Amino acid sequence: TAPTCDSLLFTYNVYMNKKLVIIAGLALSLAIGPSVVYANHAWSKYHWNISTAQSSINPLKIGDNLTTDNWKSGLTGASSDWNVSVLKNQVVGGTTNTNCDPTLGQVEVCNNSYGDNGWLGIAQIWVYRGKDGHIAQGVVKLNDTYFNTSEYNTQPWRNLVVCQEVGHTFGLGHQDENFS
Round to whole Å and give the CA distance between 98 and 144: 13
- CA neighbor of 86 nearest in space, from 126, 56, 106, 64: 56
Q: How far apart are CA 126 and CA 101, in angstroms?
A: 12
Query: What are the helix (H) ranges across 19-150?
Result: 52-57, 69-85, 144-147
Residues in Cβ contact with 61 at an 8 Å cutoff, skipping those fewer than 6 apart: 89, 90, 92, 103, 105, 106, 107
The pLDDT score that the predictor gives to residue 109 is 96
Contacts of 172 (CB under 8 A, 6+ apart): 34, 35, 36, 39, 41, 42, 43, 86
Highest mean pLDDT among 27-31, 128-132, 137-141: 137-141
What is the pLDDT, as a whole number, of residue 176? Answer: 63
pLDDT of 151 > 60? The answer is yes
Those residues with Cβ within 8 angstroms of residue 71's Cβ, 6 or more apart along the chain or in another chain: 111, 142, 158, 162
Nearest C-alpha neighbor of 63 from the set 94, 28, 24: 94
Name which of 23-32, 62-71, 166-175 the model is least confident about.
Answer: 23-32
Per-residue pLDDT tens over the stretch 73-111: 999 999 999 988 778 899 998 666 778 999 999 999 999
